[in-house]
Amino acid sequence: MTQQMPLNIDGLEQYQSKLENTSGAWLKAFRQKSFDQWATMAMPTQRDEEWKYLSLADVVNRRFQIATRHQLVEDKQFANYRDKNDINIVLVNGVLWGELSDLKILPLGLTISPLNAALAHPHAEIQDTISKLTPNDTKAFLWMNQALFLDGVYIQVAKNAVIEPLVHIIHVTSGVAPDTIVFPRTFISVGEGAQVNILESYIGFEPVPYLSNAVTDMRIAENAVVGYCRAQAESHQAIHIGTTRIWQEKASSLDSFSFNHGGTLTRNNLSILIKGEGTNTIMNGLYGLDGNQQVDNHTLLDIQFPNCTAYQLYKGLLNGASRAIFNGKIYVHAIAQKTNAYQLNKHLLLGKQARVDTKPQLEIFADDVKCTHGATIGQLSQDEIFYLQSRCIPAQMAIQLLSKGFIDDILNTIKNDSIRGKLSRLLLKKFPEVKL
């Protein structure tokens, strides 16, 4: 390997040689193709329109090493994330950890296995899905993950199965040295007419800088009903690059929620492709930032069939000198008549140095639709604070109450009580001055 790689990773030659021993001809060829594509792909810069507000200079200038240990170190801290009422699926540094996961007794219709095991044998749905690109993909990070991911988890919900407990996928970065890179990978298949609630969490306890390059693919079959939340709570020195791609088939329903409060720099790419008529899609999100944290949310809803409904609300609470970027696009194809789509992005700035760049977008090629979008950026009203003070409420408590109202408005859209409770507890730790 003599070519200049897009990212400095130590020991890449030896690591690539190990991947050549991958089981299964298809997977071996897929990894090699992804590696070759990644090796010739430049990392995105601020000259790229989709990255104009977020600099990756700190990532490009570092020298990384791939995580080699896959054992949980912080047992006591991790215990706070487990709930005995959930089906917990735990991956440590990208590898499924059976001893920490609830895999022995599963509800009827739910299958969980290591992703490598599923990919080692012919599996048309997985192979077809992960081989495709979506318009919102950041190819450099996607191909890097596909070439170098160690393992992952494959979750299958059978046709007409109703999974009552929350399925909680927990990606833990643990026991890593500074400038380690991990590759979480998830594939979720929800069968026709099935129902399931899924929480996918990314957590880290090490007070060191590391990079998490995560990819999740989900296929939702006809008439299925899915609640899906992605919660990013990485170490505050971590960099998190996340790619989530969801395919929705005819008459399916998706209630999705994106939550971010960890990491020093976060980029989320969410693509939802509508592949059938009569779907219902909710894309909500909340990010709470302070200090110098940065989060960049790029979302795409690609509506390719008629009679679909979509609702999107993203909210940001920014303290200190934090920065938020939102670029949300709803693309309505000419065939997608009778579409009803709504998009709104709202920010509350608590810090005087906080900054927001927001760009909600609608691209509509159908003429019989109802589509609206908008964005707001504001600070707390001094009149409202004064009103509460006049009722003997101290100024700091007034700020807490008003901020709580801003947050509760979107948290209450989460129908699953377990997910809503978990996110509320994370925000309590994040903003001790904002009592939830």
The predicted-structure confidence for 21-47, as pLDDT tens digits, reads as follows: 677 788 888 888 999 999 998 899 999
Residue 260 and residue 111 in one domain: yes
Q: What value does the mean pLDDT take over residues 151-173?
A: 97
pLDDT of residue 436: 39
Mean pLDDT within 121-129: 88
Residues 358-371 have a mean pLDDT of 94
Contact assessment for residue 319 and residue 293, using Cβ atoms and an 8 Å cutoff: no
Classify residue 394 by burial, with Cβ atoms within 10 Å: 0-12, 13-18, 19+: exposed
Spatial CB neighbours of 362, under 8 Å, sequence gap ≥ 6: 329, 330, 332, 341, 343, 371, 373
- Residue 429 has a pLDDT of 60
Choosing from 234, 253, 276, the residue where a domain stops is 276
Let me know if residue 28 belongs to a domain: yes
Task: Indicate if 17 and 154 belong to the same structural domain.
Answer: yes
* Residue 198, CA distances (Å) to 13, 114, 118, 127, 383 in order: 37, 17, 20, 22, 41
Share of the chain above pLDDT 70, in %: 96
Q: Is residue 49 part of a domain?
A: yes
Question: CA angle, 202 as apex, 188 and 279 as ends, to 5°?
Answer: 40
The answer to whether the beta carbons of residues 30 and 131 sit under 8 Å apart is: yes
402 with 262, same domain: the answer is no
What is the percent of the chain with per-residue pLDDT over 90, rounded to a whole number? 68
Q: Which helix (H) or strand (E) holds 373?
A: strand 370-378
* Residue 396 confidence (pLDDT) above 80: no
Question: Considering its fold, how many domains does the chain have in total?
Answer: 2
Question: Which among 257, 276, 295 is the end of a domain?
Answer: 276
Tell me whether residue 363 is in a domain: no
Taking the alpha carbons of 105, 110, 115, 121 in that order, is the dihedral positive or negative? positive
Q: Could you tell me if residue 398 is inside a domain?
A: yes
The pTM assigned to this predicted structure is 0.94
> Among the three residues 276, 294, 314, which one is the final residue of a domain in this structure?
276
Q: Answer whether residue 248 is part of any domain.
A: yes
Give the model's pLDDT for residue 190: 98
**Mean of the per-residue pLDDT values for the chain?**
91
d(CA 296, CA 269): 9
In a domain, 366, yes or no: no
Q: How many CB atoms lie within 10 A of CB 174?
A: 22
Q: What digits encode the pLDDT tens for the residues 226-243?
A: 999 999 999 989 999 999
Domain enclosing residue 390, as ranges: 382-436
Residue 327 falls inside a structural domain: no
Residue 170 covered by a domain = yes
